[in-house]
Amino acid sequence: MSEPHPVDASELETVDPKLLHVSDEVAIEITGMNKWYGQFHVLRDINLTVYRGERIVIAGPSGSGKSTLIRCINRLEEHQKGKIIVDGTELSSDLKNIDKIRSEVGMVFQHFNLFPHLTILQNCTLAPIWVRKTPKKEAEETAMHFLRKVRIPEQANKFPGQLSGGQQQRVAIARSLCMRPRIMLFDEPTSALDPEMIKEVLDTMIELAEEGMTMLCVTHEMGFAQAVANRVIFMDQGQIVEQNTPYEFFNNPQSERSKLFLSQILGH
């Protein structure tokens, strides 16, 4: 399990609030969603509306269901009750809907999950070529564009095993972006990284936020939450216990559980 690792917010570039525009358009709507693993009630009555352009940080103790929640959004996990509507498409067992939503929603994992048998460039062009049917040349141009954006274009022809953790995670972000997703999900993207690599990944994510990407991010990086999030969701025991702006959440937590959690990760 990952240790909470709060980065001091002052280390990160400050973000111009004007760039962080939230629209009225609904990106994700979750109503009365419940999920069980066998007998274990892992998510209980989740209600959450995400507007386009929002940057939501999901925090909470280990095992509280944060990963499960965001994995339900692109159907890596199936929910048993309630409704999830992503970009106007309701998630059901219909494979067509699932594939459509998955190609609109990018996901970045804790352990990168790059494809080790493909080069960095091939990792980035695979899905555009096969899912979007983009011509190879165009897909490669797009891939190089995003690799430049995450600042590793010179690694394009290497294999993932030859890159550092931070570089691999940036490639993973670029790989998702190549599908031009409208929503990005991050599941503890920096928890498997050495401390000196965390910042390079967070910087990439901040740039993404500035461009107006809708982001749901499970993370313990409280500095990141303060710098870019417009909402923090605190989960415990499969439930949303508290939601607030980062400022209010960190300075004036309401529930006992949030206070305890914050004192554990912030108070030394």
Partner 1 sequence: MHDVSFVRHEMLSPQPAPASQVGPLRWARENLFSSILNSFLTIVSAAAVILALAHLWPWFAHSVWHAGSLRECREMIAQRWGEDATGACFAVIRDRWKQFLFGFYPSELYWRPTLSFVLLLAALAPILFSAVPRRMLWFSIAFPGIVYWLLWGGSLALPICVYAGFLVGMLVHRLVGPRFGSLLALIGGVLATLIWWFYLAGPVAGLLETILPFLTLEPVASKRFGGFMLSIVIGATGIAFSLPLGVLLALGRRSGLFIIQSICIGFIEFIRGVPLITLLLVASFLLNIFLPPGTNFDIILRVIIMVTLFSAAYMAETIRGGLAALPRGQYEAADALGLDYWQAMRLVIMPQALKISIPNIVNNFISLFKDTTLVAIIALLDPIGLVTSIRADSNWNGIVWELYGFVALIFFICCYSMSVYSKHLERRLRTDHR
- Dump the DSSP string for 224-253: HHHHH-SEEEEEETTEEEEEE-HHHHHHS-
Residue 50 CA to residue 233 CA, distance in Å, equals 11
**Range 23-52, binding partner 1 (CB under 8 A):** none
> Closest Cα partner for 156 from 109, 202, 211, 118?
118
**Residue whose CB is less far from Mg ion, 67 or 125:** 67
**Range 178-217, binding partner 1 (CB under 8 A):** 179
Place of tokens 């693993």: 37
Note whether 66 binds ligand ADP by CB under 6 A.
yes
Cα torsion 214, 219, 222, 225 to 10°: value is 0
Residue 42 near which of partner 1, Mg ion, ligand ADP, none (CB within 5-8 Å, type-dependent): ligand ADP
Find the shortest distance in angstroms from Cβ 78 to ligand ADP.
11
Note whether 189 binds ligand ADP by CB under 6 A.
no
Judged by CB under 8 A, the residue of 89, 103, 237, 243 near partner 1 is: 103
The letter for the amino acid at 79 is H
**Residue whose CB is less far from ligand ADP, 20 or 76:** 76
Find the shortest distance in angstroms from Cβ 104 to ligand ADP.
22
Residue 130 near which of Mg ion, ligand ADP, partner 1, none (CB within 5-8 Å, type-dependent): partner 1
Under a CB-based contact definition with an 8 Å cutoff, are residues 250 and 9 in contact? no
Note whether 134 binds ligand ADP by CB under 6 A.
no
Residue 103 CA to residue 87 CA, distance in Å, equals 11
Counting beta carbons within 10 angstroms of the beta carbon of residue 168, is it exposed (0 to 12), middle (13 to 18) or buried (19 or more)?
buried
Find the shortest distance in angstroms from Cβ 45 to partner 1.
26
Note whether 147 binds partner 1 by CB under 8 A.
no
How many CA atoms, within 13 angstroms, populate the side-chain half-sphere of residue 171?
Answer: 31
Under a CB-based contact definition with an 8 Å cutoff, are residues 89 and 64 in contact? no
Find all residues with CB under 8 Å of 161, minimum gap 6, and list them.
116
Under a CB-based contact definition with an 8 Å cutoff, are residues 1 and 32 in contact? no
Tell me the number of residues near partner 1 by CB under 8 A.
26
Note whether 63 binds ligand ADP by CB under 6 A.
yes
Residue 68 near which of partner 1, ligand ADP, Mg ion, none (CB within 5-8 Å, type-dependent): ligand ADP
**Range 57-96, binding partner 1 (CB under 8 A):** 74, 76, 95
Binding residues vs partner 1 (CB under 8 A): 74, 76, 95, 99, 102-103, 105-107, 109, 111, 113-117, 126-127, 130-131, 159, 161-162, 175-176, 179
Binding residues vs ligand ADP (CB under 6 A): 37, 40, 42, 60, 62-68
